[in-house]
Structure 1
Amino acid sequence: MNRKNDKEPADSTPADEAPSAQTAFASYAAPLVDHAIEYANAVREDASPEDFHQLRVSLRRLRSLWWAFQPLLDEGENTRQRALYKYLATAAGKTRDWDILIELLAQESGIARGLTPTLENARGDALATSRETLSNADVKHLLREALSSATRELNTAHERVPLGKFANQRVAASERTLKKRMKRARHAKRSNYTAFHDVRKAGKKLRYLLEFFGPVLKGGRKRTVKRLKQIQKRFGTLNDIVASEMLLRDNAALLAASGDTDAVLQWLKKERKRRMRSAAGLLRTL
């Protein structure tokens, strides 16, 4: 399947007028909706880890965009839409989590050789569940309706907010959240993974906003983007280990007869501690 990564944004604003946030919304949201539908269709036909990964990314970006436009949208409806994107991303994530565990253990071939067939079978079961959930949800209809509803609400609003002003305000709000979470994580106990996970989520949201609004923001953001890439890489590898360890523990009974799960858990525990130290070290330098 040929998947396009970029689509031309629609622009209904005259060239001599500064665009408003309300009129610009669809140019951000429509390509994301198209991508999400594209990958939702792809996972029905193809079981590749990359399609599930890209579907989750598309849904997370949609959730971040709806958060960005939260001040301009009905609060209740906005909350419901963001919950929907999270639900769909979680459905895709049930398969993606197995992919991550399998990929991690493939790097340590000697430690999980006996587990591999059982992990692949468990991944197949998760795939069937993910596909059923996404099919029953009718992703295309839900996302198209969410886009239409939000666009209609924004286009009929009496007030207009300059896009540049709005974008800078929302990015600033996201930056404040990230700084607070980084401060909390710096003072958290090494065992408090939640504090580190909150940094990762806040950093990811800010990076998405910078990608959305980059051309209309005041000042350069190269340093910020570089820092966010560092956070995502370092904290992402930590999250992979923690999620894999939880998945293995939650399915201990299923995997008990398939190999030495204790050895795998010991390796994951060791990796978690190492990557926690690495993440904490990065925080001290930022």
Structure 2
Amino acid sequence: MKRDSGKMDKRSATGDPPGNPASTAPSAQAAFASYAAPLVADALEFASAVREDASPEALHKLRVSLRRLRSLWWAFAPLLGKDENIHQRALFKYLATAAGKTRDWDILIELLAQEDSGAHGLMPSLQEARGSALAVSRETLSNADVKHLLREALAGASRELNTAHERMPLRKFVTRRVDAAKRSLKKRMKRANRARRSDYTAYHDVRKAGKKLRYLLDFFEPVLKGSCKSTARRVKRIQKRFGALNDVVASEGLLREYAASLGGSGDTEAVLNWLGQERKRRMRAAAALLRKR
């Protein structure tokens, strides 16, 4: 089931029906639930699906939905209690990591499915490791009582915002938060452009900042003045290029971590060499994009 997670019709989002002044627009506090509730519903739907569906797509959708929630809570952080906001964002990250452990194996398997990777002999062991990770992911998510945690997070944040004495116009608020995300991305791109090619952390920070901005544009584009299409296209390019780099870096780390248990099931060292060469190629591609900023 595909939802329009976080996006709102421009008229309803701004609260500016024909003939009415912009002053009728809702406050950011009042609008929060209209963004958060569909995201929580998506996350609950995907968490339920993972119990029955072991496919890479189900886990990917769950992890993305939790990341989107984390970004939304970051967006509303100035209006929420600091400690509680940090706690909720940490919760979303924990749940996303639980789903991500299996997803990381899926990405590695997809990468090594390429003919020239030389990983044919490793595949049975990788699939077995993936199955074990899936069992742990399902158990962790089940024990966490995702439904209760997410509904409590939504209820708590909504209650805090609805009882706040001050109100900020939605458009003014989201413009500030999107601008903050843009500045963060620009800063990290400059830092990565100056960093050594071996400094993957700087590149990883670009990816995270780009992802956050992309989610905020998805949420708030109908409310913002002017078109965000050029910014959205640029962020999508960053996500694609830096996401491809992250896939191979994470896969290389995962394979090294489990190399001992995979020993004898194939030429692990040769596959690691292939991943190393692929990492360098993708690092060059990411660096080239930084130079074009």
Q: TM-score range by the shorter chain?
A: over 0.9
Match of 1:4 in 2: 2
Q: Which residue of 2 is the match for residue 218 of structure 1?
A: 225
Equivalent of 1:71 in 61, 74, 78: 78
Cα deviation, residue 6, structure 1: 2.7
Matches within 5 A, 1:9-28: 16=20, 17-28=24-35
Q: Which amino acid aligns with 1:6?
A: D
Mapped to 2, the partners of 1:14 and 1:143 lie a distance apart of 31
Contact 2:122 2:265 in 1 (8 A): yes
Q: 4+ runs of 1 displaced by more than 4 Å?
A: 7-16
Return the letter of the residue paired with 2:93: K
Contact conserved, 2:39 with 2:69, CA < 8 A, in 1? yes
What does residue 98 of structure 1 align with?
A: 105
Q: Which runs of 5+ in 1 are unaligned?
A: none
Q: Percent identity?
A: 71
For 1:149, the equivalent position in structure 2 comes to: 156
Distance 1:60 1:93 in 2: 11
1:34-73 correspondence to structure 2 within 5 Å: 34-73=41-80
- CA–CA separation in structure 1 for the residues paired with 2:55 and 2:207: 25
Contact 2:59/2:100 (8 A) holds in 1? yes
Q: In 2, Cα distance between the equivalents of 1:189 and 1:142?
A: 41
Select 2:237's aligned residue among 221, 224, 230: 230
Q: Distance in 2 between matches of 1:110 and 1:248?
A: 13
Which is further off, 56-65 or 217-226?
A: 217-226
1:190-220 CA deviation, whole Å, 9 max, x = no partner?
0000000000000000010011110111221
Please, what is the CA RMSD of the aligned residues? 1.6
Match of 1:140 in 2: 147
How far does the alpha carbon of each residue in 1:103-145 deviate from its partner, in whole angstroms, 9 at most, with x for none? 1111236611110000000000000000000000000110001
Report the TM-score when normalising by structure 1.
Answer: 0.96
Aligned to 1:82: 89
Q: Report SS of the residue matched to 2:221.
A: helix
- Whether the 8 Å contact between 2:117 and 2:271 is mirrored in structure 1 is no
Task: Please point out which of 232, 254, 263 is paired with 1:256.
Answer: 263
Which residue, 278, 283, 286 being the options, matches 1:279?
Answer: 286
1:187-202 → structure 2 map (5 Å cutoff) = 187-202=194-209
Query: Over residues 143-200 of structure 1, what are the superposed CA-to-partner deviations in whole Å (9 max), with x where a residue is unaligned?
Result: 0010000001101111110000000000011111101000000000000000000000
Choose between structure 1 and 2 for higher RCO, CA contacts under 8 A separated by at least 6 residues.
2
State whether residues 39 and 65 of structure 2, in contact with CA within 8 Å, keep that contact through their aligned partners in structure 1. yes
Once the two structures are TM-superposed, the CA of residue 19 in structure 1 deviates from its matched residue by 1.0
Q: Per the alignment, do residues 110 and 252 of structure 1 end up closer, same or farther by CA in structure 2, a change over 3 Å counting?
A: closer
Alpha carbons of structure 1 residues 69 and 253: separation in structure 2 relative to 1, 3 Å: same
1:71-94 CA-partner distances (Å, limit 9, x unpaired): 000110000000000000000000
Return 5+ residue gaps in structure 2 as ranges. Answer: none
Report if aligned partners of 1:9, 1:31 keep a CA contact under 8 Å in 2: no
Distance 2:122 2:65 in 1: 31
1:30-86 CA distance string (max 9 Å, x none): 000000001100111110000100101000000000000000001100000000000
Counterparts in 2 of 1:186 and 1:110: CA distance versus 1, 3 Å? closer
Distance of 1:202 and 1:265 partners within structure 2:
28
Partner of 2:125 in structure 1? 118
